[in-house]
Amino acid sequence: MIEVVRPGPLATVQDLGRPGYAHLGVPRSGAADAPSLRLANRLVGNPENAAGVEFTLGGAALLFHSPAWISVTGAPLDVRLDDRPQGMNTPVHVPEGGTLLLGVPPRGLRSYLAVRGGLTCEKTLGSRSTDLLSHLGPAPLASGARLPFGRVDTPMTVDSAPVPPLPDAPILRVVPGPRDDWFVPEALTALTSALYTVTPAGNRVGVRLEGPALVRAREGELASEGMVTGALQVPPNGNPILFLADHPTTGGYPVIAVVRHQDLPAAAQLRPGDEVRFRLS
């Protein structure tokens, strides 16, 4: 069992989410940077969809009441076990009574902890993910929270994984539409040539961006329609919101373009103040 001494700014339990319920208004949720959680799980011999912890800007301290193999992936940060530095993207053995300390990532936003055996908090609709929009799944971790974990027999076969560093100014590839025809032609050009800045108002629902306003070509309201992760939804003020894991299942603002799925992990690592570009592909 793991005791949360200090969760940092925001820490939530995440697996790969609860697909299949969107028609009932349930977001998919799950790790915002899913490949980082999958990697963390592979490193400790877990199935890729095992539940771990998603940390936002690190800053956490965890006390292990039982020994465990763990791994930390995602936004790079200082990992210490009782003051001894440890590597990221590699399995680390934590003895009983060990305290794991996570620093603050100098870049990127979300780091992931996997524990061999996976966290075994109760499932809601088939998933242990915390959905901050719908308030499904475990509550965000608070000091004193206790995290049980299970056992697996699959061997640990990966020693360490090479992970490319996060880019300084990421370029996210987008597919235009489905509602690019709701905007003046210059809007898509502006979106794919200007720099957009990440505002502090973002969360697991979406990244809020500021830059050249994306101007509509038509008045009126869009009939509410289904929304995908990666959608760049444009409210009347013209500043796009990039939908992440906990995004609402339907929406009434037009989506000018959608970020390609391979670039969603980079989108999930955008932090307030970061600058980002979009490119048609």
Partner 1 sequence: MRAVRRAGDGGLLVETAGLEDAHRLHRALRDAAIPGVTDIVPGERTVLLVAEPDVCDLDRLAARVATLEAGAAEAEDAPPVEIPVRYDGEDLGEVAELTGLSVREVVERHSAAEYSVAYLGFSPGFGYLTGLDDALRVSRRASPRTSVPTGSVAIAGPYTAVYPSPSPGGWRLLGHTDLTMWDVRRDPPSLLRPGLRVRFVPERTR
Residue 1 or 280: the one with the smaller Cβ distance to partner 1 is 280
**Residues 20 to 59 in contact with partner 1, rule: CB under 8 A:** 20-26, 28
CA pair distance 199, 60, nearest whole angstrom: 24
CB of 207 to partner 1, least distance (A): 15
CB of 195 to partner 1, least distance (A): 22
CA pair distance 7, 54, nearest whole angstrom: 10
Instruction: Choose which of 258, 266, 267, 276 interacts with partner 1 (CB under 8 A).
Output: 258
- CB-based contact 240:250 (threshold 8 Å): no
Task: Assess 208 for contact with partner 1 (CB under 8 A).
Answer: no
CB of 55 to partner 1, least distance (A): 26
Cα→Cα distances 185→15, 179, 232, Å: 39, 12, 16
Give the pair of three-digit tokens for residue 235. 């409210």
Task: Assess 254 for contact with partner 1 (CB under 8 A).
Answer: no
CB of 142 to partner 1, least distance (A): 21
Residues 113-132 as x/- pattern, contact with partner 1 by CB under 8 A: -----------xx-------
Residue 21 or 183: the one with the smaller Cβ distance to partner 1 is 21
Q: Which of these segments, 5-13, 40-48, 182-190, 243-251, binds partner 1 (CB under 8 A)?
A: 243-251
Please state whether the peptide bond connecting residue 178 to the residue before it is cis, i.e. omega within 30 degrees of 0.
Answer: yes
Residue 206 or 230: the one with the smaller Cβ distance to partner 1 is 230
CA pair distance 175, 178, nearest whole angstrom: 9
Residue 187 or 258: the one with the smaller Cβ distance to partner 1 is 258
Residue 213 or 228: the one with the smaller Cβ distance to partner 1 is 228
Cα→Cα distances 267→32, 100, 280, Å: 9, 27, 15
- CB-based contact 25:60 (threshold 8 Å): no
User: Given the structure tokens 């800053």, which residue do they identify?
Assistant: 59
Nearest-5° Cα angle at 43, 42 to 49: 30
Residue 209 or 259: the one with the smaller Cβ distance to partner 1 is 259
**Residues 170 to 199 in contact with partner 1, rule: CB under 8 A:** 174-179
Task: Assess 19 for contact with partner 1 (CB under 8 A).
Answer: yes
> Helix, strand, or coil here: 23?
helix
- CB-based contact 112:52 (threshold 8 Å): yes
The site that binds partner 1 (CB under 8 A) totals a number of residues, namely 37
CA pair distance 177, 248, nearest whole angstrom: 18
DSSP state at residue 127: B
Task: Assess 259 for contact with partner 1 (CB under 8 A).
Answer: yes
Residue 18 or 116: the one with the smaller Cβ distance to partner 1 is 18
Binding region for partner 1 (CB under 8 A): 19-26, 28, 124-125, 134-136, 174-179, 223-228, 230-231, 248-251, 255, 258-261
